[in-house]
Structure 1
C-alpha cells in the first residue's frame, strides 16, 4: 500500500500511515497461539531472571508476587508472574515429562499457578525451543542430530498447570543438514505456537527467536527475516541482548549503558508493533540497583513510548521509592497500554538528544526527549517538527501532571540521563503529518541539503537539523523543504520540484522497512561506499529490491 492516503478517507492520516507501514499480512497475529485474541496491549508483570538468575525458588516467587499486590503494582496492571530458567530437574521422567525441582518448588507448579490465580495474578513459565535451555536443562525442541521433539507434550503439561504465559527461549536449537539457521528457528517456533494452540488454553507466547540473529543495532538480513515472521508465532518477542543482570557482589555497578543499548536496537522497529504483536527490549529494572532515579524514570518513559512490555525483574519489596513511583505512574502506564498500539519513532537524534513521537488512540500524540548526556540540557521542540504544524495543543507533562496550552514550541530543561515526556491533545488542528528523519543503515540519516551537488540526497550522521527533516505526504510523496524525493537519472535519487502527477515521486513503505519508488518498483538504498577523499558522502540510489537487505531498510517518522 503506498504512502498516499486517499483510499480510506474515514481514517486519520496517522492511522492510514499505520496501515501503509503494516501492509504485510503478518503485522499483528493476536490469535497465533489461541482462538482468543491475546496481548492486545503489551504484557505487564514480573520475571526473576535479571535479578535472581538461577537462584530462584518458590519462596522468592511467592514473595515477589505478594509484593506486586501489596505495593499496588498488580492493580495497575503488573499481573503476570513468570518463573524463568532453572526451575526443573536435569532429566525428564520415564514418560518424557518435565520434572519440577521439588527442592526449589516443594509444592510444584500446579500449586504455584493456583496460588498466583488466587491473588488475581497470571502464571508464566520458561522453556526453550532447543533441546536444552540456556542453562542446560531439558528443552522442548528436537534433540541434537534429530528425533522427536516435546513441544506438544510440554504445552499440554503447561496447560494442565493452568499456565497463562510461556517464555520460549532459543538456545541450542538444532539446525538439520540442508536447512539454514533461520529456517530451523522458524519451524521450531511455528511448532511451539501450534502446540500451544492445540491445548485449547489461551497462553501468551513470548518468542526469543530474533535475539539469536541480532548483529549490532541495525541487524543483518536474517534478523530482519525473523522479525518479519515471528509475529505469526507469538505475541511478543525479544529481539536482542539481555538487560544487564544484577550482581549482588557489586550492587552499585551501573546498568545504564545496558538500558541505552536495548533501547538502541528496539527504537528502529516501529513497523513491527501493533495490537497482539510487541517488540520486547527486555526487562524493566527501574528502582533496582544499577540505575539512578533519573535513569529509572528514563527507562520507564522510553519503554512506554516504544509500547514495550512492562515486565519487572527485581526484588519488588526493595524497589526504591522513586522507582516505585515511576513504575506506578498511571499516566506512563496508560501511554504504554494505549490501545492504538503504535510504537514511537525517533524523529530527531543528534547523539545527545533523541526526540520520539508516538500516535495515540483518539488523536493525541506523545512526545519524549531523551538526554543521554551527563549534564542538564535546555530543549525546545517545535510542534511542527513532531507533525503538528499550525497547531495549538494541551501539553501534559507525564512526570509532574502539569498541563499548559502550547502554541508553537515545547520547552523544558531535561536533566542528565532523564527523559521528558508529554501527552499532547490537539485543539482545532489539522491531521498530524508524519515528520522527522529517515534513518537508514548504520543509524545514519537521509540528508538532502547539506550535501555536495544540487539536489543530491546522501546518508550522513544524524544531526536533528532541518536538512534531515522529512515530511511523509498524504499523496505518497516524501518531502524536504517543499521539494520531493525523486527518482533521478541512472538510478540516482534526488530532490526536485514536486510535479503535478508526482511521477517518480510516489513511495510505498513496506513492513520489512523497504521504501519503494512506485513507478520503477525499485527500493531506496543506502550507499555502501565510504565518503570520498574530499569528505563528500555517496548518494542514495534506487536499486532492485532484495530479500531483507539491511541497506534497504528504513525507519520512518510517524
Structure 2
C-alpha cells in the first residue's frame, strides 16, 4: 500500500524518469558505423515482445548432446517450476545433425544421438508446454565442424530456404545461427544472415532468430560494431561467455561476466520489443574453473535483467542445487527482465557499477554492483536518477526483499564483493 507521499512521488516522477533514462541511454550509446541493418521493423513478426527464456545444451553438454539428455532436461524444466517461471525454449545446440545431408539436400538428425528424429523431439517438448530450438551455421559448416571437432559440412549456406522449411516442418520455435568462419567481410555477413531471415519469414512461422556474427572472427566483434536489429531477434554482441568473473582476454576471446556487461553498456538503445542484445547464456550453476561465487552468479542474473537480455540457462537442470534453482527462479528479477516496456538499462553517468532501468509506465530500477575486493556501502544520488533530491523515496531489493529509505538525497546499501543489489523504487 502506497502512502500519500509515495503516491505523489510516483505520479509526479513520470516525466523526470523518462527524460533521465532517455538521456542516460543516449549518452551511453556509441553511434553505429551505419544505421540499423535490415530496417526499422522487427526481424521476425509474431514473436513475444519480451526476451526469450529457456535452456541451451552447449555449456554443459557440448557435442555430447543426445535425445535422452534433451528429454531429461525438458522434464526437469517442468518439475523444477522453471517452465512456469518463464523458461520455455529448449535449444539443442551444435552436433545434433548427421554428418551429411540427405540425398535431396535436406538436414537430418544424427541417427545415433537422435534416433527418434527432430520432429518427434519437437512434439515431446510441445506436449510439455515447452518450445523447440535448434542450431545451424551461416557458413557451410557448423562451429564444431569449422573448428575441426566434428566431420562434415552441414551449415545452412546455400540451403537457407530448404533448411528454413525443414525447421518449420519440424515445428521449430527458435533458431540459433552462428557465423563460424574466418571470412568476415561485412557485406557477406549481412547477406548471409539476411538470407536466412528472409527464409524464416517465408515459412510464416514465428521463429526466434538468434544470430552470432562473431564466431570465428578475429579481433573485430561485428555483433558489437553493428546494429543487427532489423535482421535478427537477438544478436550476440560478444564472443562466448566463460563461467568466470573476468577473463581479460579482449573481445576476440571468451569473456567473463563483467567483461560482457561492460561491452553491452553502450548498446542499450538497440533493445526494444522482439529485438534484443544477446550477452550469451547464463552460467549460473555451470561447472567451471575456478568457477563463480554465488554473489557473482547473482550479479549475472541481475545485470542480464537490467539489460532486458534473454535468460537462457546452460546448467545441468537434472542435478542443480536448491541455491541454483533459487537464483534462476527469482520472481522479482524475472519480472524486471520480462517487463513489458522492454527497455534496456544503462550506467548512471560514467559509473560502471551503478545502472538504472525504466520499467512499466512509471517504475525505476537501480542496480549497485560492487567490483571491489571488500564489502562496502554503495550510494546513488536521487538527482543522478532524475529525481527530486529531497523526495521521499523507498526501494526494495529484488533479492532480499529488504526495504531501503533515501537519506540525505541518496539511496545506499551494503553490497558484498562481486555482488549486486537491485533496488526497485516503489
Q: Which TM-score band applies after superposition, normalised by the shorter structure?
A: 0.7 to 0.9
Displacement of 1:342 after TM fit?
1.3
Q: Which residue of 2 aligns with 1:259?
A: 257
Tell me which of 111, 114, 117 is aligned to 2:126. Answer: 117
Q: Could you say if the C-alpha distance between residues 64 and 373 of structure 1 is closer, same or farther in structure 2, counting changes exceeding 3 Å?
A: same
Q: Secondary structure at the match of 1:94?
A: coil
Q: Is the 8 A contact 1:238 1:281 kept in 2?
A: yes
1:52-77, Cα deviation, whole Å (9 max, x unpaired) = 11110011111111111111011010
State the Cα distance separating 1:256 from its structure 2 match.
5.5
Aligned residue runs from structure 1 range 391-406, under 5 A: 391-406=391-406
The match for 1:107 among 84, 107, 116 is: 116
Question: Using CA pairs below 8 Å that are at least 6 residues apart, which structure has the higher relative contact order?
Answer: 2
Report whether the alignment pairs 1:411 with 2:412. yes
Identify the match of residue 195 of structure 2 among 185, 191, 195: 191
Provide the secondary structure at the position in 2 that maps to 1:282.
coil
More displaced 10-residue stretch of structure 1: 92-101 or 391-400: 391-400
Partner Cα separation in structure 1 for residue 394 and residue 62 of structure 2? 44
The structure whose Rg is larger is 1
| CA distance 1:418–1:255, change in 2 (3 Å) | closer
| Corresponding residue SS for 1:53 | helix
Summarize the Cα distance change of 1:308–1:402 in structure 2 as closer, same or farther, 3 Å threshold.
same
More helix by share: 2
Preserved contact between residue 36 and residue 230 of structure 2 (Cα < 8 Å) = no
Q: Aligned partners of 1:401 and 1:153: how far apart in 2?
A: 51
**1:223-242 equivalences in 2 (<5 Å):** 227-228=226-227, 230-242=228-240
- 1:82 and 2:91 equivalent? yes
2:203 is the alignment partner of 1:181:
no
* Partner of residue 19, structure 2: 13
Alignment partner of 1:359 is 2:348: no
1:451-494 deviation per Cα after TM superposition (whole angstroms, max 9, x unaligned): xxxxxxxxxxxxxxxxxxxxxxxxxxxxxxxxxxxxxxxxxxxx
Cα distance between partner residues in 2 of 1:92 and 1:340: 43
**Cα RMSD after superposing both structures:** 2.7
Q: Does 1:33 align with 2:44?
A: yes
The answer (yes or no) to whether the contact 2:136–2:156 under 8 Å persists in 1 is: no
Counterpart Cα distance in 2 of 1:357 and 1:215: 30
Q: Within 1, Cα distance between the matches of 2:415 and 2:25?
A: 34
TM-score by structure 2 length? 0.84
**What is the aligned counterpart of 1:208 among 199, 209, 212?**
212
Indicate the residue corresponding to 2:153 in structure 1: 138
Which aligned pairs between 1:101-500 and structure 2 lie closer than 5 A?
101-136=110-145, 137-142=152-157, 149-172=158-181, 181-210=185-214, 215=219, 227-228=226-227, 230-244=228-242, 254=244, 257=247, 258-289=256-287, 290-348=291-349, 354-390=353-389, 391-406=391-406, 408-425=409-426
Q: Secondary structure at 2:365's aligned position in 1?
A: strand
1:338 partner SS: coil
How many residues in Structure 1 have an aligned counterpart in Structure 2?
Answer: 388
Give 1:109 shift: 0.4
| Aligned partners of 2:181 and 2:216 also within 8 Å | no
2:335 aligns to what SS in structure 1?
helix
Contact 2:100 2:154 in 1 (8 A): no
CA distance in 2, matches of 1:58, 1:131: 24
Residues 288, 256 of structure 1: alpha-carbon distance in 2 compared, 3 angstrom cutoff: farther
How far has the Cα of 1:360 moved from its partner? 1.3
Structure 1's unaligned 5+ residue stretches are 1-8, 143-148, 246-253, 426-558
Preserved CA contact (<8 Å) 2:97 2:110: yes
